[in-house]
Structure 1
Amino acid sequence: MHGDRTNRTVLLVLAALMVAAGGLGGAASFGAFGLEVQRRALTDNVVADYIDRNSSWFWPVVAGVALILVLLCLRWLLVILFSTDRAGDLLITSKGPGRTALRPGAVTRAVTEEIESYPGVSSAGARIVGDPDAAELVVNATVEDSSDLASVRRRIETEALAGARAALDDPHLPIRLDLTVTTDRAARVS
């Protein structure tokens, strides 16, 4: 389970509960649940009376629900802190016996260093995400506004990204290229 997906789901459920509570309160104020509920003061202590009448089973149920909520929140926190969408070692297909595994960091480092060496590129970053069997290369490059964006993009695609596909022996490797334009100039060392 991925942290972003979990966050969206939990927040959507909480939002739906809050909207429902607000809708029920509004409906009660307009008399949808009868005149007795409509005329009742908000500070009437109906809840305390109910709890007092049913205290033998009510508090153990509250404790159980609270424990479940604590465990769900703890799981949510752990997913957020320790989940990752990064791929594990990538297996290179070969026609002979044996297998070759390539660490994603080696590929991303090579792609990043190559792209950063291109004129007009201020900085770059790459990562491989997804399952090792269905990985995707995500590349971010910051390009100087004075450079020819189309030629930099073409060079990245035809050299660095084509090289990554060749290294992984996957001509159909999905790649997402995000280019950002900046006014900052890259410091070049000759």
Structure 2
Amino acid sequence: MHADRASRVLLGLIGLTLTAAGVASLLAGGGRLGADLPDSPVLDSTVIRFAAENSTWWWPAVAATGVVMALLGGWWLLAVLFSTDRIHGVRLATDPTAGATTLTSGAVNHAIDAEIEAYRGVRAANSRLLGTPEEPELAVNVTVDQSADIGALSQRIEIGALTHARQALGRPDLPAALDITVSRRPAGRVDRAYQLP
């Protein structure tokens, strides 16, 4: 997820800020930052007087700021939860003077899924192109019957569908992750996972 890195940085900064504020509050409340701080009000009289004198616009501004912050937080949360590194297409290696050729990820995914689903023992396949158009990666999830030979099937997928995808994209070194799930297993979703080169 592209949002992961930004989210980690943002959450780290927020965490450090809140930790510093919490430590400062504890030190101030314990009298470590001055003997008079534990008994002093959080807001001094100047701030209270300013808010009272400008109450016609001050409190609506505070409320509007809170609403904007809540909306931004909700938008950020949705972006983190539902965004992916999926890409819309892959740029094929062609002659630069002839222009750029892009193959849509939907076409690639459909072809990979259709080929894998034709293999014996496969119930469903779902592939996704991730990363960037210049440096794509392939993630393939396959659900198989309980009687399927996982080793033979993973080898067939690697030699067949993944090799064909690499050839179609002109990327023999395309990284691919293959996740094979056995259907109707009460213990959990993933039976075995293979990380392919």
Same fold judged by TM-score > 0.5?
yes
**Aligned mates of 1:69, 1:145 — CA distance in 2:** 50
Aligned residues with identical type, % of pairs? 38
The question of whether the paired residues in 1 share the 8 Å contact of 2:88 and 2:106 is answered with no
Q: Which residue of 2 aligns with 1:164?
A: 165
| Paired residue secondary structure (2:87) | coil
Higher relative contact order (CA 8 A, sep 6+): 1
Q: What's the TM-score once normalised by structure 2's chain length?
A: 0.70
Q: Which residue of 2 aligns with 1:188?
A: none
**Aligned mates of 2:25, 2:174 — CA distance in 1:** 53
The question of whether the paired residues in 2 share the 8 Å contact of 1:88 and 1:131 is answered with no
Q: Which residue of 1 aligns with 2:125?
A: 124
Structure 1 stretches lacking a partner, 5+ long: 185-190
**Aligned mates of 1:171, 1:124 — CA distance in 2:** 22
Cα pair distance change 1:98/1:29, threshold 3 Å: closer
Residue 91 (str. 1) matches residue 91 (str. 2): yes
Q: 1:108-123 alignment to 2 at 5 Å?
A: 108-123=109-124
Pairwise CA RMSD of aligned residues? 3.6
Aligned pairs, number: 179
**Aligned mates of 2:36, 2:99 — CA distance in 1:** 78
Name whichever of 101-110 and 84-93 sits farther off. Answer: 84-93
Residue identity in the other structure for 1:47: L
Q: 1:3-152 alignment to 2 at 5 Å?
A: 3-38=3-38, 40=39, 45-52=41-48, 66=65, 69=69, 73=73, 76=76, 79-80=79-80, 84-94=84-94, 97=98, 100-152=101-153
Structure 2 stretches lacking a partner, 5+ long: 186-197
Per-residue deviation, 1:102: 1.6
**Aligned mates of 1:141, 1:75 — CA distance in 2:** 32
| Paired residue secondary structure (1:177) | strand
Name whichever of 165-174 and 135-144 sits farther off. Answer: 135-144
Cα pair distance change 1:164/1:16, threshold 3 Å: same
Could you list the per-position Cα deviations for residues 70-121 of structure 1 after superposition, in whole angstroms to 9, with x for gaps in the alignment? 7854763685588552223323334695654321111101111111222222
Cα pair distance change 1:145/1:100, threshold 3 Å: same
